[in-house]
Structure 1
Amino acid sequence: MVVFVVMVVAQLMRGEGAGTIASAAPFIHDGATMSAVLMGATIVCFSFIGFDAVTMYAEEAKDPKIMPKAILLTVLLGGAIFLVAAYVTQLRFPDWNEFAPGGDMQYVEDSTLPIIGNLVGGNVLMAVLTAAGFCATLASGLASHASVSRMLLVMGRNNVLPQKAFGYINPRTHTPTFNIVLVGAISLLAIPFTLELIAAWINYGALIAFTFVNISVIAWFAIRKGRRHTPRDIFSYIVMPGIGMLLTGLLWANLHADALTGGLIWTALGLIYLAVITRGFRKKVVAFDENQAVTGFNKVVKVPVDES
């Protein structure tokens, strides 16, 4: 990415593209309507989910206290890379018609990355960026695979799912092997679908998570803990999560119709399952205690609650 950015900056200074490295055009222009920005945000949302997957490795961290910093750094560093790369690329290619059918390069569905690589650095950079794209896809898949497996482990350990299978830890590898194999098998079912549809479905799950994270902050701190009487508490535990819910709601309004349909079916199945295991919502699924000991793969640690 550094090589790519340096090459693009050099081309901009030679007068190519927008012909400048300092411009507000990538952020503000005639085509940047609010509806277009919100529609793009629901798509780009797919690129940023994953920072929360860091939390799934809390039990394997040397010190769980580092998790909040790890999440924040992941968001900031990842966001900075996205912002810089997108900014210089937009200046170098201000007109998307360069990638349209009939242009200098053959249009590739779902990806302009090889075309951008070729136009910036020829066949060599095109090959490098394409290979990097494949590597990033594999890395993303492995990270998601591992984090989902560990989420299922927690659900199994808390008897939300059958504990014998989902709560199983392989004594030799200290990993939830049953969950890993199961997630891999289910993931293979995604092969026939388009990237657009998969991204839309993932966004539904991400928006569900982001919405309920904000609801949980209000429910736990403001309501259950009574942290709502000082200006600081009101701002931290009511205003900020309320703003988060509002912004997430704007993304909900622009979600892909197929994702909304599939997601609602998935949610309905989950509610039915929840009703069964709670005997009609009369029994708690799991009780959360902020001072409870969490059993790790190789150790037992006390997990503190970081209220920030």
Structure 2
Amino acid sequence: MTDTPALTRTLGLRSLVLFGLAYMTPLIVLGIFGVVAETTGGASAAAYLVALVAILFTASSYGRMAAAYPVAGSAYTYVRRTIDPRVGFLVGWAVLLDYLFLPMVIWLIGAAYLEAQFPGVPGWVWIIGFIVLTTLLNILGIKVADKANLILMAFQVLVIGSFVALSIGSIIANQGAGGLVSVDPFANATATFSGITAGAAIAAYSFLGFDAVTTFTEETINPRKTVPRAILLVALIGGAIFILVSYTTQLVHPGGVFTDASSAAFDIALQIGGNLFGALFLAGLVIAQFASGLAAQAAASRLLFAMGRDGVLPRRIFGEVSRRFHSPVFSLVIIGVVGLVALFLDVATSTSFINFGAFVAFTMVNVSVVFHYVRQRRAGTRLSPVFFLVVPVIGAIVTLYLLTRLDSNAIVLGLSWLAIGVVVLAVITKGFRRQPPEMEYREADDQALRSAATL
């Protein structure tokens, strides 16, 4: 048995897929439908199709790295092991911008929905309520969070299914069954190639989270096979949902002209289902935010745990797991405290910078697969040049392009955050003269962890 702080292997393929989908929040397709439809000129389904194809390249790279390095840490670990520990630290630092602050944004959005429905209740009450409840569920352990997540995802799927069913009913009532078959959501007179690609850049944000399942690698049974499968399934299932929902919704409301693009889906919900379904739709959005916050906080805590265990963050704070709950309690609490920043921000401000870290991570994971391919080839191990060279190169180009499509404020904030990371790295490496500390991982440790999970 190893003395290394360890998580418990209890998660199977179903649980990983559910966590990934919860992190993605499938209902987000309706939350930003109006914006994507407006950008594409009424071809929102085409935007999601293009985004899915683009994301699958990066999903493949995450799967390859998860199989090669079945430990927590995601992009931070992959880049560290294949390229350089210092580069890995900076990637991990960039990812923190996404992982550490994304739960805060999710809680803020959920609170905004509730505050709109119940204006008599201050927004800070909802924010603190989200933070306390999700933190407690995650502290109690991954099994408890897993069961809660299953219930929350079931309701979210119910709302999405109802929205699609009511949309189909509305289309048949107004246009007949033939109205269900149309190319307009993919290509129409007002849609342009540039508009669709711009819409795809926005739609790609909906996929953020397919990579989050890699942070649960050390809690997954048979991770070398289960995690890569879960990554691809999350991307494919999420993409299928996004395309189907945007297609049917676009048929209900052709074109990209709305009174208010940000609330377009709610207006359509009222149109196809009346006030009762409108209330159910809003409830679904709030529950989706809660489920997403639950998964996002859990994933972020695993990244902090991996960096703390390595010693690049204070080990006594971040690198410990509760003996009672088998969860990184201190990391979870710290993320909850960070979430209190939402009390002083609005949604527009808070969402402007988190995507920088995500696209940096996506790009560098693709690059890490290429480095892994070269190293293995030099060692005499032959890997598929298609999956370990061609696919990641395409993925890197696509995600780097998406990074450049972020607004200037996001890029400035992201680069500033990276500059702080360089200073931190300089301190812990004594002026870059030493390598960042690292926990040595061996296959024997993996076997020990599997044995511990059966006790």
On whether the aligned pair clears a TM of 0.5, the verdict is yes
Partner of 2:384: 233
**Which of 201, 217, 220 matches 1:42?**
201
Q: What residue identity is the alignment partner of 1:81?
A: I
Distance of 1:17 and 1:256 partners within structure 2: 43
Partner of 2:449: 300
**CA deviations over 1:137-194 (Å, ceiling 9, x no partner):** 1111111111101110010001011101111212211111111010011122134434
Asked if the contact 1:113–1:130 (Cα under 8 Å) also holds between the matched residues in 2, the reply is no
How many positions carry a matched residue from both structures?
A: 291
Partner of 1:243: 394
Percent of matched pairs sharing the same residue:
38
**Which of 191, 195, 208 matches 2:347?**
195
**Which of 137, 152, 166 matches 1:7?**
166
Asked if the contact 1:39–1:251 (Cα under 8 Å) also holds between the matched residues in 2, the reply is no
Q: Does 1:114 align with 2:266?
A: yes
Partner of 2:416: 265
Deviation at 1:49, TM superposition (A): 1.1
Q: What residue identity is the alignment partner of 2:252?
A: R
Distance of 2:195 and 2:238 partners within structure 1: 23
Q: What SS does the corresponding residue of 1:89 show, helix, strand or coil?
A: helix
Change (3 A) 1:146 1:294: farther
Distance of 2:284 and 2:344 partners within structure 1: 23
Distance of 2:426 and 2:222 partners within structure 1: 36
**CA deviations over 1:38-77 (Å, ceiling 9, x no partner):** 3323322222111211111122223323111112111111
Change (3 A) 1:190 1:90: same
Distance of 1:30 and 1:192 partners within structure 2: 44
Q: What residue identity is the alignment partner of 1:254?
A: R
Distance of 1:292 and 1:12 partners within structure 2: 56
**CA deviations over 1:78-127 (Å, ceiling 9, x no partner):** 11111100110011111343x40xxxxxx5x8333321210110011111
Asked if the contact 1:197–1:259 (Cα under 8 Å) also holds between the matched residues in 2, the reply is no
Q: Does 1:57 align with 2:216?
A: yes
What TM-score do the two structures reach when normalised by structure 2?
A: 0.59
The structure that has the greater radius of gyration is 1
Asked if the contact 2:305–2:320 (Cα under 8 Å) also holds between the matched residues in 1, the reply is yes
Change (3 A) 1:29 1:161: same
Change (3 A) 1:267 1:287: same
Change (3 A) 1:38 1:271: farther
Q: What SS does the corresponding residue of 2:351 show, helix, strand or coil?
A: helix
Asked if the contact 2:309–2:439 (Cα under 8 Å) also holds between the matched residues in 1, the reply is no
Asked if the contact 1:54–1:67 (Cα under 8 Å) also holds between the matched residues in 2, the reply is yes
Distance of 1:148 and 1:57 partners within structure 2: 10
Distance of 1:235 and 1:62 partners within structure 2: 28
Partner of 1:67: 227
Distance of 1:193 and 1:227 partners within structure 2: 50
Distance of 1:261 and 1:117 partners within structure 2: 37
Which moves more between the two structures, 193-202 or 272-281? Answer: 193-202
Distance of 2:262 and 2:327 partners within structure 1: 35
Asked if the contact 2:310–2:439 (Cα under 8 Å) also holds between the matched residues in 1, the reply is no
Q: What residue identity is the alignment partner of 1:116?
A: I
**CA deviations over 1:3-51 (Å, ceiling 9, x no partner):** 2212211221233599711111111124433433333233222221112
Q: How does 1:62-211 map to 2 (within 5 A)?
A: 62-65=221-224, 66-97=226-257, 99-100=258-259, 107=260, 110-211=262-363
Q: What SS does the corresponding residue of 2:280 show, helix, strand or coil?
A: helix
Structure 1, gaps ≥5 residues long: 101-106, 303-308
Which moves more between the two structures, 7-16 or 139-148? Answer: 7-16
Identify the structure with the greater helix proportion: 2
Distance of 1:216 and 1:90 partners within structure 2: 39
Distance of 1:191 and 1:31 partners within structure 2: 41
Deviation at 1:217, TM superposition (A): 0.6
Which moves more between the two structures, 249-258 or 30-39? Answer: 30-39
Q: What SS does the corresponding residue of 2:180 show, helix, strand or coil?
A: coil
Which moves more between the two structures, 25-34 or 176-185? Answer: 25-34
Asked if the contact 1:217–1:241 (Cα under 8 Å) also holds between the matched residues in 2, the reply is yes
Distance of 1:110 and 1:207 partners within structure 2: 24
Partner of 1:215: 367
Q: CA RMSD in A?
A: 2.8
